[in-house]
Amino acid sequence: MIFRLRGLHAALLALPLAACAPMVAVPQHVFPVAPPPPPKVVEGADFHLSGKLEQGGLATGFLSAGTQSLKFNGTAITFAPDGRFLIAFDRDAIPVAQLEAIAADGTILRRTLAVAPRQWQIESLPTLPRGT
């Protein structure tokens, strides 16, 4: 009888330990997924620009319906719900600027803009105190 109790105690002790046995990982089948194709890029896209593409100039443009985003020299530009937008060139802008939009279908539309130089009349008033 004592032998049985020891065996029963041993079985009761072994039961929780058996539940802690490591699970065998079942290999899962991994199917390779092809990466999505790169987006189509259209160079020389028409943004319907009007205005002066020159240093210190201002231009407006129009985007197609469904355009997702617009960047001017890498900076995101907000545009109106109807697609209208406004860009401006710094007075010492470099000679080349770039507009890039992402169309509704994911196509990247790019246009490189030639920024004309402009002569600025720099005036100084030597009669003013320094630092003003």
Task: State the average pLDDT for the chain.
Answer: 86
pLDDT-derived band of residue 66, with 50, 70 and 90 as boundaries? very high
Tokens representing residue 127 in the block: 């009669």
Helix ranges (DSSP H) in the chain: 2-19
Tokens representing residue 91 in the block: 């007075």
Q: How far apart are CA 117 and CA 110, in angstroms?
A: 22
pLDDT of residue 1 exceeding 50, the answer is no
Buried b (16+ CB within 10 A) or exposed e, 43-60: eebebeeeeebbbebebe
What is the model's pLDDT at position 4? 54
Buried b (16+ CB within 10 A) or exposed e, 100-116: bbebeeeebbebebebe
Full set of structural domains in the chain with CATH: 41-114 (2.60.40)
Q: What is the pLDDT of residues 80-105, one digit of tens each?
A: 999 999 999 999 999 999 999 999 99
Residue 130 dihedral angles phi and psi, to the nearest 5°: -60, 145
